[in-house]
Structure 1
Amino acid sequence: MSGADIGIDLGTANVLIYVSEKGIVLEEPSVVAVDNKLNKIIAVGTEARKMIGRTPANIDVIRPLRDGVISNYEITEEMLSRFIEKIVEKKGFGRFVMPRIMVCVPTGVTEVEKRAVEDATKKAGAREVYIIEEPIAAAIGAGIDIAQPNGNMVIDIGGGTTDIAVISLGGSVVSDSIKLGGDKFDEAIIKYIKKEYNVLIGERSAEKLKIEIGTAVKEDEPRTMNISGRNLVKGLPVTISVSSTEILEALDSCIEQIVIATKNLLEKTPPELAADISDKGIIMTGGGAMLRDLDKRVEQSTGIKVTLAHDPLSCVAKGTGLSLSSLDLLETGGNFKK
């Protein structure tokens, strides 16, 4: 694996790793299980996620990243190390030589936050570390030629943040990042079910509702789904039926914040680039962008065509890995930090 390049989408909800010439080789939840008695990590990724809401008192299941940035440095470092070890052991790379790694971060993170990502990645086994902003990586991963003097608008909705940028000549001309993504969608659903039904559901149940019947526009024929939780009055398990209309009501405020942020950025976009965007449309990427008809909602609100990228969940990881072959362009655009 000598000279191999690795791109890491270090997301609040998921970590995706892209290896040059091999594509996406790892996709795991950004979750870690810690045994507090032994002061030891006992599981990461998918194994740890299965433990959410099911652990004894001595085990905590935590997310070491919040709102797209590291909230627990040591655990993030250990999680990254284990993921890198996993791709070496299971993907047949042979002897592992320390790679160059590009890691993406949300738009507008501080230098301290960037340094934390860089240090954690180096300690996890990188020879050289580069940092790239998520919308740039998302654009590259979505197949956009960012080197051209044309305006391209990307909305990347991750687990912790929504990053919006207008890109031209390899850099962000205007950009914004709001601390709202798929995790906030889940929280809004939990809050709604608690308020309307007096029933408490877990994160995984909320995510299931979002994926199965979540929508961003009103449906002519609402869909329904049964979900189980705990009745807060009786304290007993209960199953309720929830409709897609109710999930829309739960998510409406979050969706509107994304729409408003998009409109505000369009207002700040230089006229020539705004004309390009009007002609070519807006690209949406990220797992949060997969909410049913979210692209339609943004299109209705802005009057500009919105397209969901092919395989939106992996765009950032793919673009992060591919960007290592375009370092000169990215350096000119001022969008990565070594």
Structure 2
Amino acid sequence: MFASSELGIDLGTMNVRLFSQTKGIVFDEPAAVAYNRHTGKLMAIGQQAKQMIGKAPAHIEVTYPLQNGVIADFERAKMLLQQVFKQVGNPLGLAFKKPSVVMSVPFHATSVERRSFYEIAQHCGAKHIHFIEEPVAAAIGADLPVSEPVANVVVHLGAGKTEAAIISLGGVVACRSLRIGGNRLDEDIIQYVRQRYNLLIGEQTAEQVKIEIGSTPGTSLTQGMTIHGRDVVTGFLKAISLDPAEVQHALKESLLQIAEAIRAVLEECPAELSGDIIDHGVVLTGGGALLHGIEQWLGAELHVPVHVAPNPSEAVAIGTGKALRAMPKQLSAAL
């Protein structure tokens, strides 16, 4: 059973979430860090830092220290997690007691990448550190029967990557990772708008377009939206009206690659488990599961039922928080 000083951590490419067994999600903000280039001093983290992107003076840099699900900037990631621990510490009693943590890591993370996660948690004062593979955490968070001898297919559509896995008896039977996620979809929108309209837009604008009018092929959305940016030819500011069909076209190639990766995992399924997939289908987690029409489109592409988890964005964090109680044998002790 988790005490208040035991935490599940989902340190993701775009968001960091902490889960306490007694309080649920206790932190859920962007994994952004703003710091002073000249002094190295931390300026802000989370939502406050994200709001500075594209607006801060040159001496303030805003970064996301994780890329494609793994740590790309160790010092900034350490800054981020230390500050997160400070913010949640007093309500959970962590100021006087070092927490035990369970961290999710990508299935294909190397030993060096796992070591980085371990060292960051250690630097932040964690007492005991355990790892759980991200697809397993997502499946637990989605309330799938991962410890039973049945096929549980979970597709985690994260910001930096997509992981599709078949899980049975608490372990991963097959898994495919693809470095295409929500961030790539944002880039697809930025590139389309630049090529089609000679308009330069920022990451936050692209993300808003994806959320509001982004969709999978065949999905019918009628309401467009107006966006603002800078004309790359004249340098002037201008606004354009973007149609949902255009955004759908921009996202199509990346979405097809995601579908192909999932299909490849299903083809690796052992014959004894194939019937379970036909009966129960695929469960989607991660922020990408909220894209308009993705449930129906993937179902048609894969020819199996597809469902979205109850809390797709929080599934990994919830799974890490439940892991010690639900699957003690599946946690790998720290290095």
**What's the TM-score bracket when you normalise by the shorter of the two chains?**
over 0.9
> What residue is the counterpart of 1:76 in the other structure?
77
Q: Deviations over 1:47-93 (max 9, x none)?
A: 1101000111111111100000000001101110100110123x364
For 2:171 and 2:82, how far apart are their aligned partners in 1?
30
How far does residue 198 in structure 1 lie from its aligned partner after superposition? Answer: 0.3
How far does residue 275 in structure 1 lie from its aligned partner after superposition? Answer: 1.3
Q: Deviations over 1:233-267 (max 9, x none)?
A: 11011111001111111111110111000111111
For 2:115 and 2:107, how far apart are their aligned partners in 1?
14
Given that 2:78 and 2:124 are in contact with CA atoms closer than 8 Å, whether structure 1 keeps it comes out as yes
> What residue is the counterpart of 1:61 in the other structure?
62
* Helix, strand or coil at the partner of 1:292: coil
Question: What 5-or-longer segments of structure 2 have no aligned partner?
Answer: none
> What residue is the counterpart of 1:32 in the other structure?
33
* Helix, strand or coil at the partner of 1:222: coil
For 1:276 and 1:329, how far apart are their aligned partners in 2?
24
Q: Deviations over 1:119-163 (max 9, x none)?
A: 101111210111111110000000112110000100001110101
> What residue is the counterpart of 1:128 in the other structure?
128
Name the amino acid aligned to 2:282. I
- Is 2:229 aligned against 1:229? yes
Pairing of 1:149-160 with structure 2 (within 5 A): 149-160=149-160
For 1:296 and 1:146, how far apart are their aligned partners in 2?
24
Name the amino acid aligned to 2:52. M
Aligned sequence identity (%) = 38
Given that 2:4 and 2:20 are in contact with CA atoms closer than 8 Å, whether structure 1 keeps it comes out as no
> What residue is the counterpart of 1:178 in the other structure?
178
For 2:42 and 2:65, how far apart are their aligned partners in 1?
12
Pairing of 1:161-240 with structure 2 (within 5 A): 161-240=161-240
Name the amino acid aligned to 2:275. A
For 1:2 and 1:255, how far apart are their aligned partners in 2?
41
For 2:308 and 2:79, how far apart are their aligned partners in 1?
34
Which TM-score applies when normalising by structure 1? Answer: 0.95
Superposition RMSD in Å:
1.4
> What residue is the counterpart of 1:253 in the other structure?
253
For 1:220 and 1:40, how far apart are their aligned partners in 2?
48
> What residue is the counterpart of 1:52 in the other structure?
53
Note closer, same or farther for the CA distance 1:161–1:186 as it changes in structure 2 (3 Å cut): same
For 1:5 and 1:305, how far apart are their aligned partners in 2?
36
Given that 1:106 and 1:161 are in contact with CA atoms closer than 8 Å, whether structure 2 keeps it comes out as no
Q: Deviations over 1:152-191 (max 9, x none)?
A: 1000011101011000000000111111111111111001
For 2:69 and 2:218, how far apart are their aligned partners in 1?
30
> What residue is the counterpart of 2:119 in the other structure?
119
Note closer, same or farther for the CA distance 1:307–1:127 as it changes in structure 2 (3 Å cut): same
* Helix, strand or coil at the partner of 1:25: strand
> How many equivalent residue pairs?
333
Given that 2:101 and 2:129 are in contact with CA atoms closer than 8 Å, whether structure 1 keeps it comes out as yes
Given that 1:187 and 1:206 are in contact with CA atoms closer than 8 Å, whether structure 2 keeps it comes out as yes
Pairing of 1:321-336 with structure 2 (within 5 A): 321-331=321-331, 336=332
> What residue is the counterpart of 2:314 in the other structure?
314
For 2:221 and 2:65, how far apart are their aligned partners in 1?
40
Note closer, same or farther for the CA distance 1:223–1:94 as it changes in structure 2 (3 Å cut): same
How far does residue 324 in structure 1 lie from its aligned partner after superposition? Answer: 1.7
> What residue is the counterpart of 2:24 in the other structure?
23
Q: Deviations over 1:21-52 (max 9, x none)?
A: 11001001011111011121111111110100
Given that 2:5 and 2:93 are in contact with CA atoms closer than 8 Å, whether structure 1 keeps it comes out as no
For 2:95 and 2:46, how far apart are their aligned partners in 1?
24
For 2:47 and 2:143, how far apart are their aligned partners in 1?
29
- Is 2:303 aligned against 1:300? no
For 1:79 and 1:129, how far apart are their aligned partners in 2?
17
> What residue is the counterpart of 1:285 in the other structure?
285
> What residue is the counterpart of 1:43 in the other structure?
44
For 2:61 and 2:329, how far apart are their aligned partners in 1?
43
Note closer, same or farther for the CA distance 1:160–1:37 as it changes in structure 2 (3 Å cut): same
For 1:264 and 1:2, how far apart are their aligned partners in 2?
40
How far does residue 221 in structure 1 lie from its aligned partner after superposition? Answer: 4.8
Note closer, same or farther for the CA distance 1:221–1:177 as it changes in structure 2 (3 Å cut): closer
Given that 1:4 and 1:20 are in contact with CA atoms closer than 8 Å, whether structure 2 keeps it comes out as no
- Is 2:104 aligned against 1:104? yes
